[in-house]
Amino acid sequence: MLVKEFTTVLELEPLPDFVETGHVRDVTERGLAYIEAGFPLHLRGLSGTGKTTIAMHLAAKLGRPIVVFFGDEEYSTSDLVGGRYGYRRRRVVDNFIHSVHKIEEDMRQTWVDNRLTVACKHGFTLIYDEFTRSRPEANNVLLSVLQERMLALSPIRGGDGYMKVHPNFVAIFTSNPEEYAGVCKSQDALRDRMVTIDLDHPDRDTEVAITVSKSGLGKEDAAKIVDVVRALRDSVKCEFSPTVRGCIMIAKTLRIRNAAVNSGDRVFREICKDVLSSETSRGGNKAGMKKVREAIGVLIDRYCSLPDTSALDTRRGRHARTSKTAQPSSGGGGLSG
């Protein structure tokens, strides 16, 4: 059977807004060491702990072409390995003699290698993001790839049903323990073959640096938003932990709405409450949301109040706040609320 490959292979450049703090360097160094020692790597952590970003960063460091796969419960083994494609039906209409129609059917089937097969064959780096979202039956094919470095293939593809995995093949997995809990035992068998690094939410400096880098907000203002988010996280009032994603969303929306990081700014308070209550309660439980919104209000008062609001010039504050090089927001908050 004719074998083809239709797979998107990426060449990753280092991200321009990637933040490298001590925390990020530490995870990167550990991850690269396990990969160099020949182990598949698994980054496990809650949403927003930086798994996907660090997986991409590690893959870029390896300098090999990359194939990315996002776990999905709809997937089957053929989505990873490949399958038969190729039924073709063509209808030809003669423009001069309208009664003439010609239909061609081509039943020749072609085997198309999918991402895992392509990566194993050429020694590429595979990033399998949120692998536990796929059903265990779809992922079982990975067991022999990781353990024996052999990929089992359908006899229909031709050959002897196995492919030796290229020595440069590297696999990086990510998963979220919240989604993983009790999913299935055979996912555990897969996980046993990997080295797992557990990621927690980054430290404060890293969250501030990420917020600044992704939004362009000044460091002092970003730090206040991060403090609100971290305190909310620690207060355990939420169904789901707020993340640095929430910080980035708040910081970016502030610019659009011309709001200031200031407890007196009504728009700022509204943005924080909208973003953080939606991030932390996905079920939309009204009573729960109300409590979270109230808690956010208290934290905004605690972390974003200006020392002496009477001395502020609203306009001057707004300009200073939104610039990337903004000065500390003691002189940079607007009072619009």
Ligand X SMILES: Nc1ncnc2c1ncn2[C@@H]1O[C@H](COP(=O)(O)OP(=O)(O)O)[C@@H](O)[C@H]1O
For ligand X, the binding residues (CB under 6 A) are 17-19, 24, 45, 47-53, 210, 213-214, 244-245, 248
What is the nearest approach in angstroms of ligand X to the Cβ of residue 177?
11
Out of ligand X, Mg ion, none, which partner does residue 64 contact, by CB within 5 to 8 A per kind?
none
Out of Mg ion, ligand X, none, which partner does residue 133 contact, by CB within 5 to 8 A per kind?
none
What is the nearest approach in angstroms of ligand X to the Cβ of residue 56?
8
- Say how many C-beta atoms besides its own lie within 10 A of residue 289's C-beta: 18
Out of Mg ion, ligand X, none, which partner does residue 314 contact, by CB within 5 to 8 A per kind?
none
Two tokens, residue 59: 């893959």
**CA-based nearest residue to 78, from 87, 66, 90, 69:** 69
Out of ligand X, Mg ion, none, which partner does residue 18 contact, by CB within 5 to 8 A per kind?
ligand X
The strand ranges marked E within the chain are 3-5, 41-45, 66-70, 82-85, 88-93, 101-106, 110-113, 125-129, 150-152, 162-164, 170-175, 195-199
Residues making contact with Mg ion (CB under 5 A): 52
Out of ligand X, Mg ion, none, which partner does residue 210 contact, by CB within 5 to 8 A per kind?
ligand X
What is the nearest approach in angstroms of Mg ion to the Cβ of residue 210?
14
C-alpha–C-alpha distance, residues 277 and 126, integer Å: 35
Q: Which is nearer to ligand X, 77 or 175 (CB)?
A: 175
Two tokens, residue 299: 């934290």
What is the nearest approach in angstroms of ligand X to the Cβ of residue 190?
19
Q: Which is nearer to ligand X, 59 or 153 (CB)?
A: 59
Two tokens, residue 47: 């949403």
What is the nearest approach in angstroms of ligand X to the Cβ of residue 203?
12
Q: Which is nearer to ligand X, 107 or 181 (CB)?
A: 181
C-alpha–C-alpha distance, residues 271 and 297, integer Å: 11
Out of ligand X, Mg ion, none, which partner does residue 49 contact, by CB within 5 to 8 A per kind?
ligand X
Q: Which is nearer to Mg ion, 45 or 334 (CB)?
A: 45
C-alpha–C-alpha distance, residues 46 and 33, integer Å: 23
C-alpha–C-alpha distance, residues 53 and 267, integer Å: 31
Q: Which is nearer to ligand X, 50 or 317 (CB)?
A: 50
C-alpha–C-alpha distance, residues 24 and 250, integer Å: 23
C-alpha–C-alpha distance, residues 276 and 256, integer Å: 18
Residues paired with residue 68 on neighbouring β-strands, in sequence order? 127
Q: Which is nearer to Mg ion, 83 or 240 (CB)?
A: 240
